Amino acid sequence: MITLVCPHCGPRDATEFAYIGERTARPDPNDTTPQEWRGYLYLRSNPAGWADELWLHRAGCGRYLAVRRHRTTGAVDEVRDVGAGGEP
């Protein structure tokens, strides 16, 4: 079981959250090739170990949270608010 500590709501079970995906930098649409867009939208490395992820507290405050989580152990190192839009 994964527990995330929401900065607004406190410790909550991960079932209250929606996993959005890996946090990656959005490329500039005015200066990006179709291959770079494809990589941003669809390609993920999914490595074992620590990863930066985006979660939505859908059953709580409704805020997007940046989560640093270990994909093998489920340990959570950091949870912080990134706003209502969820952009990095």
When asked if residue 57 is in the footprint of Zn ion (CB under 5 A), the reply is yes
Across 8-25, b (16+ Cβ under 10 Å) vs e yields eeeebebebbeeeeebee
Residues 1-40, mask of contacts with Zn ion (x by CB under 5 A) = -----x-xx-------------------------------
Candidates 2, 20, 51, 61; binder of Zn ion (CB under 5 A) is 61
Cβ atoms 57, 63 nearer than 8 A: yes
**Which residues in this chain contact Zn ion in the complex, by CB under 5 A?**
6, 8-9, 57, 60-61
